[in-house]
């Protein structure tokens, strides 16, 4: 989605969007027509807005985001590992 649509759906100001992108909290894709935001970016923006509303200061937001990113990465690795173990088990059972 384009910036204007993203701002409306995220319920943030354009200045906030610029700050969050400059700080690396949001990483939209660059396209010929400008920046393109995904549904994941939108969920992340809602999460950032919620963190700030809960009183997390601007220095704490990137720490929380990094921890959440690590958790998601670990979940992906665990899922991939479980699929590999299952495939090996099925291969062994087929022999």
Kindly report the CATH number assigned to the domain that includes residue 67.
1.10.1660.10
Confidence (pLDDT) at 81? 96
Count of structural domains, the chain: 1
For residue 41, CA distances in Å to 25, 26, 74, 80, 93 come to 9, 6, 19, 24, 42
What mean pLDDT is predicted for residues 40-69? 97
Confidence (pLDDT) at 70? 97
Confidence (pLDDT) at 94? 87
- Encode pLDDT of 8-40 as tens digits: 999 999 999 999 999 999 999 998 888 999 999
CB 44 within 8 A of CB 25: yes
Confidence (pLDDT) at 22? 96
């Amino acid at each position: 989605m384009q910036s204007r649509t993203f701002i409306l759906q995220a319920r943030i100001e354009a200045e906030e969007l610029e700050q969050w992108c400059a700080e690396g909290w949001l990483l939209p894709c660059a396209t010929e027509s400008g920046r393109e935001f995904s549904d994941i970016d939108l969920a992340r923006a809602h999460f950032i807005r919620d963190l700030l509303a809960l009183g997390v200061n601007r220095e704490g937001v990137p720490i929380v985001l990094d921890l959440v990113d690590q958790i998601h990465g670990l979940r992906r690795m665990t899922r991939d590992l479980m699929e590999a173990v299952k495939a090996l088990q099925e291969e062994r059972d087929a022999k």
